[in-house]
Structure 1
Amino acid sequence: MPVLEYFSFNDLWSPLILAGMLLCMAGYFVLIGPLASRFPGNGNVPVWRKLLFVAGLTALYLAQGGPLSLLGHLMFSFHMISMALSYLIAVPLLMLGLPDFLWRSLLRRNPLHRLSFLAQPIVAALLFNGLFSLYHIPAIHDYVMVHFTIHRLYYGVLFVTAALMWWTLISPLPERKSVGGLGKLGYIFLNMVLLTPACGLIIFAPNPLYATYTDPNIWARAMGYCVSTSPGALLQSFGGPAFFGALSPKVDQQVGGIAMKFIQEIIFASMLAYVFYHWYKKENGQDDAEASKVSSDGGTVL
């Protein structure tokens, strides 16, 4: 994109975050490779799991450290795409990429086991969607964006609560699956409904809501945490976020809300179809098995 030419390589690619992601990737391959024998029940990790984990880390890096992160400070629409990529795409990919023996080891050593109730479906759904919606209240969003430590802490909490929310749908451990097909269908609908008010507020607001994308001074402070240029120099060079905006703040905001809801709908609709198919197949399989048993016992099958 043309706007990216104004920023340095370090601003665009965040080498420290990239190094952290590469260390995480290296640690993953060491754990499932040379150190796998230290974990009970270890086995060969299929290639598809490895690819999912790498894809999840890549998505997380692009959203939180790559150009998309910088663009998210320039335009609200990119901010929402970054949020969707971080919590609706990267999190489940990372979770699916971890093999069973690593999950069992993590849960066995979990120092926060007393907080396991947070993974209960209703609680997890309310936590993630509630914190996500709370974050997009204008005053809270603008405050978080200009306070770096709180920003990182909030994003970390969102990551954890996103994992708790996804656990009900993609738990890789058979012994931990406590929700049946119908329950998962209802859970998916619940998550789709809970995020709607926040997206609706963003889409249908009569005016731009976020000073981060309209007030040059607040924008410069927020940008100061993701680029090497000082806020004063940013204001002198660009004047404010309007310099980069191909869309008006209101339209940009609407596009962001629509993008977030659209991505969520696509992902959860796909999950809905997957869960329904397997639930229906299982129910019919059980019915067929029972019918075959009656027939073999001399009964009549209508």
Structure 2
Amino acid sequence: MLEIILDEFHFSTLWNGGILIYMGFIFIIYFLLLPQDFKYPLWKQVAFVLGMVAVFAALGSPINVIARIKFSIHILQLILLLLIAPPLLIIGFKNEIFERARKVKILGSILKFLSKPIVGFLAFFVLFYWYHVASVFNHARLDLFINYLFMLALLFVGILLWLPIISPSKLNKNRKRVYILLSIIFLIPYGLILLFQDQSLYLVYTDVEMFMQSLAVCMPSIKEIPPEFAAALLPYNPVEEQFQGGMMLVLSQLVIFGIAFIVGPKYSKQS
């Protein structure tokens, strides 16, 4: 059934060329324009590229379209965008540009504020839970610009959340472990809600009209499909999808934050 739906989408819809172009500009800036020592490690450059690939997979590949049909794939989007891409981007980014920016008083103050662990932590979880309030989520999925805005904002606050974990100069070993544990504790409730909820949380996955509007954002011609046919395109049990998504979110964050809990404190400032 999923193949039938995807066959209705143009190649340029499934693979977002606009995001690919933006990524090309980012790579040009990263490899050719950003100042950095000539001995900048290759593995860090690979980490940055992999981080950008994760971002593109979440926002520019068929995953972005399938996420409008299957909720569990939306969770896969979140895993790529919030748990995989940010640490890779932070590891691979060339910090010399930030060192120069800090010398500018206003920019230095902004960077200092944003890099505070409490700022990144609060910004991430406030935005994450706000986006997943049913009314907000349903509305965002019906507007292409608003949904992309939320996704990019989540990526940004995801980077802020991970910065104290990856950076060796933000927290000492013990505080870094506490920070990681708190990140796990604050993210788990949403996963548990998905696991134990006995009804669908989001109308965009159950209501035929909203489902059609959500797909129409990506493919305007979907409006020409009769409602009866659109109803047949809802073959996935929303409660099962939420359960699968909850399992994916809980397990992935435990594994990824677990690795960070073991490795991260080794690269911390002294107490």
TM-score, L = length of structure 2: 0.88
- Cα separation, partners in 2 of 1:205 and 1:54, compared to 1, 3 Å: same
CA contact (8 A) 1:216 1:235 kept: no
- Alpha-carbon offset, residue 178 of structure 1: 3.1
Aligned to 2:58: 63
- Alpha-carbon offset, residue 93 of structure 1: 1.0
CA contact (8 A) 2:166 2:264 kept: no
- Cα separation, partners in 2 of 1:126 and 1:196, compared to 1, 3 Å: same
Instruction: Select the structure with the greater relative contact order (CA < 8 A; seq sep ≥ 6).
Output: 2
Among candidates 184, 189, 209, match of residue 192 of structure 1: 184
Which residue type is aligned with residue 12 of structure 1? Answer: L
- Cα separation, partners in 2 of 1:234 and 1:254, compared to 1, 3 Å: farther
- Cα separation, partners in 2 of 1:234 and 1:272, compared to 1, 3 Å: farther
Q: C-alpha offsets along residues 48-77 of structure 1, whole Å, 9 cap, x if unaligned?
A: 111111111111011001011111111100
Distance in 2, matches of 1:112 and 1:150, equals 30
- Alpha-carbon offset, residue 184 of structure 1: 0.5
Distance in 2, matches of 1:141 and 1:268, equals 26
Q: Secondary structure at the match of 1:99?
A: coil
Among candidates 109, 115, 119, match of residue 119 of structure 1: 115
Aligned to 1:243: 233
Among candidates 251, 265, 273, match of residue 262 of structure 2: 273
Within a 5 Å distance, the mapping from 1:277-292 to structure 2 comes to 278=266
Q: C-alpha offsets along residues 17-59 of structure 1, whole Å, 9 cap, x if unaligned?
A: 1121122112211125xxx3xx6xx342211111111111111
- Alpha-carbon offset, residue 132 of structure 1: 0.7
Aligned to 1:138: 134
Aligned to 1:262: 251
Aligned to 2:18: 16
Aligned to 2:3: 2
Aligned to 1:289: none
Which residue type is aligned with residue 26 of structure 1? Answer: I
Within a 5 Å distance, the mapping from 1:31-46 to structure 2 comes to 31-32=33-34, 36=35, 42-46=37-41
Distance in 2, matches of 1:97 and 1:71, equals 29
Among candidates 230, 248, 251, match of residue 221 of structure 2: 230
Aligned to 1:49: 44
Aligned residues: 268
- Cα separation, partners in 2 of 1:15 and 1:114, compared to 1, 3 Å: closer
Instruction: Tell me, yes or no, if structure 1 residue 211 matches structure 2 residue 206.
Output: no
- Cα separation, partners in 2 of 1:46 and 1:275, compared to 1, 3 Å: closer
CA contact (8 A) 1:49 1:97 kept: yes
Among candidates 171, 182, 185, match of residue 179 of structure 1: 171
Distance in 1, matches of 2:18 and 2:56, equals 11
- Cα separation, partners in 2 of 1:112 and 1:233, compared to 1, 3 Å: farther
Instruction: Tell me, yes or no, if structure 1 residue 159 matches structure 2 residue 155.
Output: yes
Which residue type is aligned with residue 237 of structure 2? Answer: S
RMSD, aligned CA: 2.6
Rg (Cα) greater in structure: 1
- Alpha-carbon offset, residue 140 of structure 1: 1.3
- Cα separation, partners in 2 of 1:11 and 1:237, compared to 1, 3 Å: farther
CA contact (8 A) 1:182 1:279 kept: no
Distance in 2, matches of 1:98 and 1:156, equals 18
- Alpha-carbon offset, residue 6 of structure 1: 3.4
Q: Which consecutive unaligned segments of at least 5 residues does structure 2 have?
A: none
CA contact (8 A) 1:204 1:254 kept: yes
Aligned to 2:100: 105
Distance in 2, matches of 1:142 and 1:244, equals 16
Which residue type is aligned with residue 15 of structure 2? Answer: W
- Alpha-carbon offset, residue 120 of structure 1: 2.2
Distance in 1, matches of 2:267 and 2:103, equals 30
